[in-house]
Structure 1
């Protein structure tokens, strides 16, 4: 069964816009779990424009499902807060300080030795590691050579091409997923997955263990309510 991990970055963005504590991030995480989410994802960035480093510690105290911390392992306090809080999973993402959101996967061939050391450090601490990659066979193979536990397929291209030609859009993801299975890699996915495209993606990707969804889910929740929205996303994963 594919797990739904809710990325709550956008809740933190809304909170920070007024400088107070509304909406409350901890309550939102608890509610997401209560409404059926099987994981909570956060992506702290050095400028703390949404998730603040203190949030990482506060959420560690209350998350009872899978706790997934995403981020660039070479920037800010990412390594410190991950190794201190010991989440279920660390997802390594190569985003830059200027990036509005994650916009590419790792080049797992060029950065293989660097990533190999980082992955081992987190694994030695008992943390499952996932590497964010594009749906490229060479990048999947490079990730396997690094020794990561899982990869997370960057699904923006699928989402952007879905309406025009969903069969063509999903083709590279199917190939990447099949290669990941052959290599014994666990498989996650995320970025711009939505109620519109999630069921089709899930039905066609073999071995999909987890999807991490934030922006679309929070946008839907503005109209449909958080509990109803989470249930609708879970329904897409059960079709």
Structure 2
């Protein structure tokens, strides 16, 4: 519009995935699909954390909630590939991209931010606070002992994925935020109130990936 990018005039093309086996949004996963919930979660956590933390280190924070993440299941029922859809609300850091030798894309200014807090909230709030939280609530069935064990599996995958990345200033900042005592999550109720401010609203919850919360 007037030579500028406008989300109001955008459209999205979703192509079918090339996978031959089952592919579904993570939000559609049921407990019956996971014959061994711990093994299922471990496989998913390794994929999700390696991919999203790697993207974040480069400069792209995905909104990795259960509707945007598709999981491809193998013959054993375990996740073996993730597919991300809906790029409309990612956050991109031009400074991080530049530090990694990548030219920033010509996208709406709304998607651009070099603020680590914005990048961390976008990814960790959706992936840890929403996706992992929902899966563990599903698999744990309100058994707090089981839930703690499942969170320990995710924490181990997070340490492995984070530790495999180059030890840059950005990665160290990401690691500190990922294992902080509190994690940002979207305040969905606030967003639905009359007169709510535009854009994302956030609150903080205990982070079960932190050493103190997981102990």
TM-score (norm 1): 0.27
**Structure with more strand by fraction:** 1
User: Which of 1 and 2 has greater Rg?
Assistant: 2
